[in-house]
Structure 1
């Protein structure tokens, strides 16, 4: 039988997406069919179209069978009350908010109700949300579901002449202080960082000090605040410490003896552990002209940490190591992380080695894994390797140039060729480097240099990670993949609109490939807005996570990818090692028979640990920057506008990369509209415009070490961003007097 002819034309993808996006609540197939008058057998075609939209990531599931914009919040959500804003509106945020790009959560305004007592800061509510704008929601209380944390981290402040002290939260979201009577200070004094417990309920503005974490007078308190605020485990259980202290050298046994291979470790000058070593040589196989034989040796952590022993339980709780300028919170005790599992030069170390052969185009032809004993020939740094590559080797590197350095760079050049051919997204964003003096105070903050030697190690590690994933699939072993899904439709559309303001096009449709984004980066290369484009593309991408379900790695343009190269600092890598040991029959320390059943839950757990570590490291860097800038309050700086929001402008300083806020109320005595597509604030009366990417001159008004916040005031625009559609940018000099009125915004 011939299929029935479609009697009612189906709506286009764009029409359906617009309907879902504009709906204040999630909708389902029934609502879409009704809106477009689709009946009877015609619904089959609609069902297939909606299935394709879900598969492409253009829409997401809400509750039940509802569909929603991937960038939207669901209709029902648990939220936590932050507190009132300047106008008295009660603000809240999602309890669980882990965006891929680190963006701030949408604004949620809790609506008053007669049925429920007025909630206060810290209260958690099940609420029904109704969209009020692109990133703004009204929340109707369904019921109260509890409180947030019962204790709050803050800094003790003792105003002169006041009877009581006050604790100011280190969390910028908590916009209130807690009063503490002298008898409840628990020996805390002005400047101490403490845990405080509100008394008389979480809404109370009085409390008592539970314990002291540190003091802001000690520069090392910066990382302590980040550790405490993010609940990062610091102390190891005694059983784990005992097990680490009793560890001994691993025997050669059945391992391959590779102590004669001149492996080298290449890390930063400030590296604290060395868990990977590399070596390469031209492939001697005449059937592979121009090919290379590479080896990546990784510390055999699985030999020392067995499933469900004391060390393993401590490691899975931590998930990964956390790095701060003044300390490391390691995943495993120092006896392993800096001892038996650190590939120190000229010392025998047990490893798991990935041997790989690539052809002249950089394609992986074959690979094998085995346990081995190696002896690193040298502990090298990225800077020394780059100097050697540039023709200035030091005394240790000079005898290694022909047999070690040259082959490593030769193999790297071939791998780079393959990377460029498959079209990966190469975002090259600078990283800040904090240098401390002997007292722990900040000596300097600068942007870390990036060399080809960094990229060399990255390419070797990526190849080994791919080989590990392929091996586990062939051996039918559980695999903890590192997955990176394509960006969702809402973020792609927002990126497309932003790029259009720069005159850069992004191919139409939702099925974009990494090479499409790389094409955008090439167009932006050398332009004043190059770095801005890199950062915006980064924010548009999904967040990489750990999962036993393989969806590929979009950013690297790889079909399969698993982290294999850092088991001393990432639990996911330890799982991959154990799976390889089991699958290849490499001896003790493999996966238990039923381990795969728990991989989904374990993947979510270690992904959350990773997000926790990233949040702590970022917060510490913000506080270090605030401490560094504290004695420069009142100074003027060159900067660029790095973010535009309804409440103000974020600027980034040229010299240090410090980020801070210019509140909208300080920009002038008029109302500013938020031109979201144009990434600008536009004065309603004068047309004065502040755009993303504008180069400006600013003055530092405040540096808050406790919260890591920097506040600036605008002085003038130095150079306007690239010409864009919309209101023309006017040269603006900020007035000395600030507006008392709260400006309104308009979403477009």
Structure 2
């Protein structure tokens, strides 16, 4: 219907001239579709000055009417799909064609579209063939308005459907066994394993099985194919996520041989910066060090109180060249994955912890950017250099901060005056520009699991946020901006780190929550991070601060990689690219290759005519890998904490309501950050209805309510370490209120609704 309205509106009065009218704008967008952005409109209508403001206001009006939507800096008809999408193959149609659906789809646009997967007439030798259950990267082709109005060509097979199922083996008295799946979605669906198929596994082991028989009338059975260990070991718990998400964690022999045969880089075509006292500042337990920093006052009299800041990054491109086995494996992995007890690296240890790691007192190749800042922290100019460096100190964040605070040790003492103090003075200058830019400033403390020597959890802490953290973060952001600017100026293709502004729908939802606590969302002015920062400042230090920070986070889009630039909303930057972590992120390696091309290093560089379509495919692939890694890391923490709390059944905890659904409440504990669920059926003696506008469950008879962000006391009644699930009982009384009007929906089947509660997806700018 919205598409029809947009077409009718466009046809109603479109003219051949280029005057800025509603009809002409709609006609242009209808003709150019997903290719049209604001810059295209400005160029087409030849707009200047105040006319651009008029265009912005006009686009907002059209968007608010639902005729168009803005996504990734482009204007689409509602429900329009991008040209490249990550999809799951869900089945076949009547003709036997594979059917796929987008992995992510906004339900406000209706049901997810069905995409017919166009298969080549003949597969290339050795190329994996996708099937039902596989995850693929598709190039989308719009066909029209039919039932299957989209076709997709397979660009890359991201993950094959797992041939194995993971679970905990439970051996019965008669010697047979059953498998308890680790997947939350498969809870309650057990598999039978005969004596002959148990192999060397024992009761309580984590095992991988192959399903032998599964049907409507046959008993589901399986065969143990691999014993992964006992669930009493934390290392086994992280293996659950590795296997469940199909994370590639074993390097092929060809990749390892390439890495082992690598020889240290030489001084050829490099500047000698080994005397410059660059230092690395990282977490205390870091094993790879890919960035080093240095700063000094600018001696140019024209730049009084300015500074020269240098950021040197490991030259990974010198060892990982395009098209090699190392490069192909790095692209498949996309990034390193960090668990509390282990790291699944993007590159083999020979590179990540040795040749590429900027260890102290050893020569290491690097790509450095030298930036000149003025007295107000603004970057005046910058230049990139391919260098040979030698780190003059490996420091931890806490160690560097202690030295600045007047407590230097044997390592930081000699570095304090010549290295650390100039770094902090340059940072104080850079902060001025940062504060003026006003990036999104959320206050959401991150928790860290501290393990004992035997691998079990000792405690959960909230690490202090130090100025040393902020210093490194700000210098890395400056370097990333410089990389994007240099590549754009040189006309080089690149992969941007982008973050779209919040959608109108999410802004409306935010306004409703703010209204429920007596706050108003400004309705005028441009949408900028400053608006959210003002809201956060109003609630800072109050009881509503956790709620508002959480809601603001949920209102944000998800940061991702893209070959087209639409800016980074959260950082409030027009152009941004990841450059500073090529050891652990493939996107940074692409940016390094582009920069090397600008410096004349063609052998290690990126072709200047590299197809943007190919970069778009890479961007979509590594964005998917990033989401996969985040899910694996999050689920592992959930399982570890559930394991940690399993012997505290009956204990009470303080927490806050972090999610509200019709099925019940999600509660986040204050001390551990653990998430647990309170079924609606267990709340008091009333029937509770879901009030979407207030994000609350409200008693139909009493009006008692439990709202998002409320501080509550709960009792732990069940812990499932295998699934990483906790179930609580509410101890606190709800807010007093008035009974709901008769029109509100009453929850009459709470037991059915609490079987598979869905946790709200968390997005945020990174």
Q: TM-score range by the shorter chain?
A: 0.7 to 0.9
Q: Is the 8 A contact 1:639 1:654 kept in 2?
A: yes
After TM superposition, list the pairs within 5 Å mapping 1:206-355 onto structure 2. Answer: 206-355=221-370
Query: How many residues are aligned here?
Result: 653
The 1:368/1:335 distance shift into structure 2, 3 A limit, reads same
Contiguous gaps of at least 5 residues in structure 2: 16-20, 30-58, 82-86, 92-99, 113-130, 135-146, 153-158, 741-747, 758-766
After TM superposition, list the pairs within 5 Å mapping 1:45-60 onto structure 2. Answer: 45=22, 48=25, 52=59, 59-60=68-69
Hey, what's the Cα distance between the residues in 2 that align with 1:426 and 1:549? 26
Instruction: Report the counterpart of residue 675 of structure 2 in structure 1.
Output: 659
Instruction: Report the counterpart of residue 441 of structure 1 in structure 2.
Output: 456
Q: Does 1:636 align with 2:652?
A: yes
Shifted more, 402-411 versus 211-220: the winner is: 211-220
Q: Is the 8 A contact 2:294 2:311 kept in 1?
A: yes
Q: Does 1:513 align with 2:562?
A: no
Hey, what's the Cα distance between the residues in 1 that align with 2:451 and 2:287? 15
The 1:171/1:95 distance shift into structure 2, 3 A limit, reads farther
Q: Name which of 156, 171, 174 aligns with 2:186.
A: 174
Q: Is the 8 A contact 1:282 1:407 kept in 2?
A: yes
Hey, what's the Cα distance between the residues in 2 that align with 1:61 and 1:363? 31
Instruction: Report the counterpart of residue 724 of structure 2 in structure 1.
Output: 708
After TM superposition, list the pairs within 5 Å mapping 1:464-543 onto structure 2. Answer: 464-508=479-523, 511-543=526-558
The 1:473/1:728 distance shift into structure 2, 3 A limit, reads farther
- Deviation per residue, 1:542-579 (Å, 9 max, x gap): 11111110111111110100000000100110110100
The 1:206/1:689 distance shift into structure 2, 3 A limit, reads same
After TM superposition, list the pairs within 5 Å mapping 1:515-664 onto structure 2. Answer: 515-586=530-601, 588-592=603-607, 594-597=609-612, 598-664=614-680
- Deviation per residue, 1:490-533 (Å, 9 max, x gap): 11111121122222322216941111111111112111222332
Hey, what's the Cα distance between the residues in 2 that align with 1:150 and 1:462? 39
Q: Does 1:28 align with 2:28?
A: no
Q: How far 1:218 sits from its partner (Å)?
A: 2.1
Hey, what's the Cα distance between the residues in 2 that align with 1:691 and 1:666? 16
Q: Is the 8 A contact 1:302 1:574 kept in 2?
A: yes
The 1:337/1:55 distance shift into structure 2, 3 A limit, reads farther
SS of the residue aligned with 2:308? strand
Q: Name which of 178, 186, 193 aligns with 2:199.
A: 186
Q: How far 1:215 sits from its partner (Å)?
A: 2.5
Q: How far 1:181 sits from its partner (Å)?
A: 2.5
Q: How far 1:32 sits from its partner (Å)?
A: 8.6
Q: Is the 8 A contact 2:366 2:389 kept in 1?
A: yes
Instruction: Report the counterpart of residue 137 of structure 1 in structure 2.
Output: none
Instruction: Report the counterpart of residue 211 of structure 2 in structure 1.
Output: 198
Q: Does 1:154 align with 2:154?
A: no
Give TM-score, length-normalised by structure 2. Answer: 0.79
Q: How far 1:320 sits from its partner (Å)?
A: 0.7
Hey, what's the Cα distance between the residues in 2 that align with 1:578 and 1:31? 43
Q: Does 1:691 align with 2:707?
A: yes
Give TM-score, length-normalised by structure 1. Answer: 0.80
SS of the residue aligned with 1:595? coil
Hey, what's the Cα distance between the residues in 2 that align with 1:106 and 1:673? 24
Q: Is the 8 A contact 1:484 1:553 kept in 2?
A: yes
The 1:641/1:508 distance shift into structure 2, 3 A limit, reads same
Shifted more, 559-568 versus 419-428: the winner is: 419-428
After TM superposition, list the pairs within 5 Å mapping 1:675-690 onto structure 2. Answer: 675-690=691-706
Q: Is the 8 A contact 2:259 2:348 kept in 1?
A: yes
Q: Is the 8 A contact 1:465 1:562 kept in 2?
A: yes
SS of the residue aligned with 1:700? strand
Q: How far 1:151 sits from its partner (Å)?
A: 3.5
Q: Is the 8 A contact 1:572 1:606 kept in 2?
A: yes
- Deviation per residue, 1:63-84 (Å, 9 max, x gap): xx9944799xxxxx97969xxx
Hey, what's the Cα distance between the residues in 2 that align with 1:148 and 1:260? 50
Instruction: Report the counterpart of residue 743 of structure 2 in structure 1.
Output: none
Hey, what's the Cα distance between the residues in 1 that align with 2:207 and 2:554? 34
Hey, what's the Cα distance between the residues in 2 that align with 1:56 and 1:554? 19
Q: Name which of 394, 400, 404 aligns with 1:389.
A: 404
Contiguous gaps of at least 5 residues in structure 1: 1-25, 72-76, 82-93, 109-121, 126-139, 730-737
Instruction: Report the counterpart of residue 140 of structure 2 in structure 1.
Output: none
Hey, what's the Cα distance between the residues in 2 that align with 1:620 and 1:567? 25
SS of the residue aligned with 2:645? helix
Hey, what's the Cα distance between the residues in 2 that align with 1:509 and 1:187? 68
The 1:78/1:292 distance shift into structure 2, 3 A limit, reads closer
